[in-house]
A and B are shown apart, each in its own frame.
Chain A
């Protein structure tokens, strides 16, 4: 079976795919206007308390949690918030307005 024989290649491709997706999300979904609000996504094992504490400590006003407890929507105090939040352990800081993408759930975005 050729799939088994080339499992190293296939595993490398899978890693490349996941890494590329992560990196893309990291730079392409970065907040266009952080002052209007950002969505901060921590590691899945982060507790809501930790999420809240880290979001606020990085320099933002907490607005609400996202779906799971490791996602928070916040309004940054300053323009360096993205860097601070990443330093605080956030995996992704995305623009809440654009994550709806083609689903056009834009109504929720206008209400930070």
Chain B
């Protein structure tokens, strides 16, 4: 609630009380003038009750102001009306102006305007309308206008004053708020300054503690640092030695790795050659198997030819049998001719000689035929033996083929194994090469480690020196600080 609100509330309460006080006064006036006391009480009471009721209903202050305007102007009108015909009635009119002045306490033009309007209405009805109604032409409009003018002037002035008061209140309120704000700002600033001071003190104490702790920790840390630097230096030397050893060992390993690689490469080469040779052997074995099959076929064909030969020999045998039979009959015929020639005597002598010759030829034919038979028999025996021999050769060749197939299978396995050996040897060779590369890298790393160990050693020495300097500086700083604090 602002100051103007409080002021308006005070004015409202005071005027509500005044309206209530008016009731008995008006009743007394009515009684004194022998007027209707009851009606006066009811009317004045009703008018006084309106603002009170609105106050209790917590209506806005200007509504209460309007109600007070109605109530106070109405009550004044009652007073003026009651005093009608009384010599003091004119004086009673002044109370309207007093009421207006009191209502100006609301500093609200609406309240003042309402009050002025009501005064005009009440005044006009009593002093102009009623008289003009009762006495046509008997009223003095000029006087009414003068009264109205006075009311307008007063109202205008009061509105102006109310506005000025309102402005003054607003300015005062603004100034008060400004002052409060400033006071709060100053208070806050004071509190913040105190806080700042406390914080500064605390910071200083904390700084001191931190400084001491820092010094302690620095001394401890530099001690540890110094020790660590010495250990680091020793470690660097060890590392350098280890790197040198590693370098030598890796050089040896590199040599061994190279020779191993060479050996493995030659083994791989030999494996490859072996695989190649075994492949050739396998190929030859396959060829041999093929030739064996061809030989078996050839033997079968030879067997057939020999069979045909046996058949031919049998046929020859038959032919020789036929020749033998012919020779025997020829011999008989020659013998018969000889006999006949003998019987013919001398004349038959030449015939006998021819017969003798034919007999001799028949004998020779039989002999030759027997010889042929013998030879054919011999040939048949030889053919039988040939067939047996060929059968034996064919069986041998088949066994040879079986063995050859087994050899081929074994050779194929050997070839696979040899190729695997060669591949493994190649892989081993590649691995050995990788090992060699790795060894070379190790060697490089060992060199770098050696160099780093050297750098580390010098750095450790520097660290040791620096830690000693830090300790000296910290001690000097503390002495300086103590000198300043003292």
Chain A residues within CB distance 8 Å of chain B: 2-3, 6, 9-10, 12-14, 16-17, 20-21, 23-30, 32, 39, 41, 66-68, 71, 73, 94-103, 105, 108
Contacts and interface: CB of A to CB of B under 8 A. Distances in A.
A99 B74 contact: no
Interface string B82-117: 101100011001000000000000000010000000
Nearest to B75: A20
B132 A28 contact: no
Given A17-B70, A27-B36, A101 B63 contact: no
B78 interface: yes
B239 interface: no
B67 A13 contact: yes
B84 A28 contact: yes
Interface of B: 35-36, 39-40, 42-43, 46-47, 50, 54, 59-60, 62-63, 66-67, 70, 73-74, 77-78, 80-82, 84-85, 89-90, 93, 110, 118, 121-122, 125-128, 130-140, 143-144
27 contacts: A10-B66, A16-B46, A17-B118, A17-B121, A20-B43, A20-B70, A21-B77, A21-B122, A25-B125, A25-B130, A27-B40, A28-B78, A66-B134, A67-B132, A94-B134, A95-B84, A97-B85, A99-B126, A100-B138, A101-B84, A101-B89, A101-B127, A103-B127, A103-B139, A103-B140, A103-B143, A105-B140
Contacts of B63: 2, 6, 9-10
Given A9-B54, A10-B66, A28-B78, A23 B135 contact: no
Nearest to A30: B36
Contact of A66 (B35, B42, B90, B135): B135
Contacts of A10: 63, 66
B82 A95 contact: no
Nearest to A67: B136
Contact of A28 (B81, B121, B127): B81
Contacts of A6: 59-60, 63
B60 A41 contact: no
B134 A24 contact: no
Given A6-B60, A17-B74, A67-B136, A25 B131 contact: no
A30 B67 CA distance: 27
A19 to B, nearest CB: 8
A67 B70 CA distance: 29
A13 B77 CA distance: 16
A101 B47 contact: no
A26 B136 CA distance: 21
Contacts of B50: 12-13, 16
A12 to B, nearest CB: 8
A70 to B, nearest CB: 9
Contacts of B78: 20, 24, 28
A12 B39 CA distance: 20
Contact of B81 (A12, A25, A96, A100): A25
Contacts of B59: 6, 9
Contacts of B84: 28-29, 95, 98-99, 101
Contacts of B128: 103
A108 B424 CA distance: 155
Contacts of A21: 74, 77, 121-122, 125
B56 to A, nearest CB: 13
Most buried by B among A30, A39, A101, A105: A101
A26 B405 CA distance: 157
Given A9-B63, A20-B43, A105 B139 contact: yes
Contacts of A2: 60, 62-63
Nearest to A64: B136
B340 to A, nearest CB: 194
